């Protein structure tokens, strides 16, 4: 049995969080899927049925689709067009050294696709840019690279669209299975209709809104979405600072009241250590850079980033004032991933906080249920990595909760009292029952709470 309608098979360039999740989902729908990934280690793991990333539900489904032979991974694109009709580009688009988006991976993937197309003898494939790119990239950069390397014409010999991804790490597979919307940007109706038809074989079109627009609008929808989400987080973090300074202030209650307004809504109003990860900060910077190029004043976005950075430094300064200096003090950091449910530490609040603690002379011990290996690659040997929460807290002068993993919400005040040298906890994610901890003798500092 095979899915995907008119599509014989799908190729995916880049098997990271987006590409691998998409590939596993498509294969689970019986669409023959080939992931092209330049990292040989990742390819080796995938072909053994092992997930190179931590995402709920992914390992089990990956193992199944690899065993069934519906999904495979390779390091080279080769003559893939003999086997697939659609190719998704899902490579990274990190921030470059000057703050602009680094599109080199997208350019390289486009060249590889162009070369494979030049050697292909079969019909006109559909190429879909899923990586997050600034407006103008798909038509102004991807299209000419493919046309030049393949000597073929877009709209005739191959088709092109941009189809931004909105999944959230931590629920990547669920989000890919049930997207809240599908946005397709192209200048050619055949491309839009073909992708729409493909998706209609995978999703219930009555339940998922589909928006077909120009490539630039589609590209901008993605950047604007992430900028708006970041704005909401920084807004509530600004309110949290006010709450800390006014009698009885509690940002949890203020956020609840705010969220009851249907024009605002309750989501993304959790005060804490701010946003991180591979998307929100970089997409905000990309939009800022793009707006500046147009002469648009985007200082609003600067403020969003500034509040986010300040939220992390405030925690370090608070630690310093609570301990009367950090030199030689033992600080336990609970949580390294930028959010629970993932092993991704890119731009995680914890990483920035740890670097700042180390710079101020603290001895840092860390714990995370999923992200220790990734954190080790980023932080190196300057900190002690603990497999158990207890070992992290043992003898600590202060603990910072930096990711809201459920296991940290289950911390017991009496355990904290018996393990820590100085029972002080900074609850950076507002997950502890403050009153219970205080009654047990633990000194707590909670973001957004007057105390
Ligand atoms: N991670 C998310 O939550 C998320 C959500 C929505 C959109 N996005 C966007 O999707 C894109 C991918 O994000 P990600 O988090 O999956 O990135 P990632 O870094 O996890 O994965 C990218 C993968 O592409 C591989 N790669 C790069 N160039 C290649 C090439 N030429 N050939 C083969 N493989 C190549 C890399 O080795 C890497 O494994 C980015 O533009 C990102 O902004 C990410």
Provide the residue ranges of all domains of the chain, joining segments of one domain with +.
Answer: 10-213, 237-446
Q: State residue 2's pLDDT score.
A: 56
> For ligand 1, what atom is nearest to the CA of residue 20?
16
CB 132 within 8 A of CB 54: no
Residue 137, ligand 1, Cβ within 6 A? no
Question: Whose alpha carbon is nearest atom 39 of ligand 1?
Answer: 16
**Ligand 1 centre and the CA of 344: distance in Å?**
12
**Ligand 1 centre and the CA of 17: distance in Å?**
7
Q: State residue 1's pLDDT score.
A: 46
Q: State residue 122's pLDDT score.
A: 80
- CA angle 302/100/376 to nearest 5° reads 85
Q: State residue 121's pLDDT score.
A: 85
Query: Which residue, chain included where needed, has tokens 């840019």?
Result: 129
Residue 179, ligand 1, Cβ within 6 A? no
Average pLDDT of every residue of the chain: 96
**Ligand 1 centre and the CA of 18: distance in Å?**
6
Task: Report, as residue numbers or ranges, the catalytic residues.
Answer: 279
Rounded Cα distance between 206 and 192, Å, is 18
**Ligand 1 centre and the CA of 390: distance in Å?**
35
Rounded Cα distance between 196 and 229, Å, is 27
Tell which residue, 200, 206, 204, 168, has the closest CA to residue 184: 200
> For ligand 1, what atom is nearest to the CA of residue 133?
41
Residue 20, ligand 1, Cβ within 6 A? no
Task: Please report which helix (H) or strand (E) contains residue 171, including its range.
Answer: none
Using most ligand atoms within 8 A of CB, pick from 73, 102, 165, 340 the residue to mutate for ligand 1: 165
Task: Give the residue ranges of DSSP H helices in 6-54.
Answer: 17-28, 40-47
Residues 396-429: tens digit of each pLDDT? 999 999 999 999 999 999 999 999 999 999 999 9
Return the CATH number of the domain spanning residue range 237-446: 3.40.50.720
What stretches in the chain show pLDDT beneath 70?
Answer: 1-2
Tell which residue, 88, 214, 231, 224, has the closest CA to residue 166: 224
CATH topology (fold) of 10-213:
Rossmann fold (3.40.50)
Residue 225, ligand 1, Cβ within 6 A? no
Residues 368-401: tens digit of each pLDDT? 999 999 999 999 999 999 999 999 999 999 999 9
Residue 167, ligand 1, Cβ within 6 A? yes
Two domains, one topology: 10-213 and 237-446: yes
Residue 111, ligand 1, Cβ within 6 A? no
pTM of the entire predicted model: 0.95
**Ligand 1 centre and the CA of 410: distance in Å?**
34
Task: Give the residue ranges of DSSP H helices in 55-126.
Answer: 58-67, 104-119
């Amino acid at each position: 049995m095979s899915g995907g309608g008119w599509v014989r098979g799908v190729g995916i360039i880049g098997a990271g969080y987006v590409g691998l999740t998409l590939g596993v989902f498509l294969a689970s729908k019986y669409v023959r899927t080939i992931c092209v990934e330049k990292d040989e280690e990742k390819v080796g793991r995938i072909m053994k049925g092992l997930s190179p990333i931590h995402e709920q539900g992914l390992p089990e489904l990956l193992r199944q689709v690899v065993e069934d032979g519906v999904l495979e991974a390779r390091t080279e694109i080769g003559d893939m067009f003999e086997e697939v009709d659609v190719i998704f580009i899902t490579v990274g688009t990190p921030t470059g050294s000057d703050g602009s988006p680094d599109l080199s991976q997208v350019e390289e993937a486009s060249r590889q696709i162009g070369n494979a197309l030049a050697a292909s003898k079969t019909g006109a494939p559909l190429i879909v840019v899923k990586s997050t790119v600034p407006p103008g990239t798909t038509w102004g950069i991807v299209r000419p690279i493919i046309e030049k390397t393949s000597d073929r014409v877009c709209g005739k010999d191959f088709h092109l669209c941009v189809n931004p991804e909105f999944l959230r790490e931590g629920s990547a597979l669920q989000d890919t299975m049930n997207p809240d919307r599908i946005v397709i940007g192209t200048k050619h109706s055949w491309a839009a209709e073909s992708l729409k038809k493909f998706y209609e074989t995978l999703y219930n079109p009555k339940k998922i809104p589909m928006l077909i627009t120009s490539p630039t609008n589609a590209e901008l929808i993605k950047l604007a979405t992430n900028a708006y989400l970041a704005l909401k987080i920084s807004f509530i973090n600004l309110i949290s600072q006010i709450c800390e300074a006014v009698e009885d202030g509690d940002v949890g209650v203020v956020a609840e009241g705010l969220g009851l307004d249907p024009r605002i809504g309750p989501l993304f109003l959790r005060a804490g250590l701010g946003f991180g990860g591979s998307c929100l900060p970089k997409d905000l910077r990309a939009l800022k850079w793009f707006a500046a190029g147009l002469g648009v004043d985007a200082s609003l976005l600067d403020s969003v980033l500034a509040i986010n950075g300040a939220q992390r430094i405030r925690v370090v300064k608070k630690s310093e004032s609570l301990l009367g200096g950090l030199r030689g003090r033992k600080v336990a950091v609970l949580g390294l991933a930028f959010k629970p449910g993932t092993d991704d530490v890119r731009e995680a609040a914890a990483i920035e906080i740890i670097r700042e603690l180390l710079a101020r002379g603290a001895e840092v011990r860390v714990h995370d249920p999923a992200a220790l290996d990734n954190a080790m690659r980023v932080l190196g040997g300057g900190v002690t990595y603990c497999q158990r929460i207890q070992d992290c807290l043992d003898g600590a002068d202060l603990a910072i909760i930096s990711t809201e993993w459920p296991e940290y919400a289950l911390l017991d005040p009496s355990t904290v009292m018996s393990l820590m040298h100085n029972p002080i906890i900074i609850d950076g994610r507002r997950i502890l029952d403050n009153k219970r901890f205080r009654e047990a003798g633990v000194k707590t500092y909670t973001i957004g709470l007057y105390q």
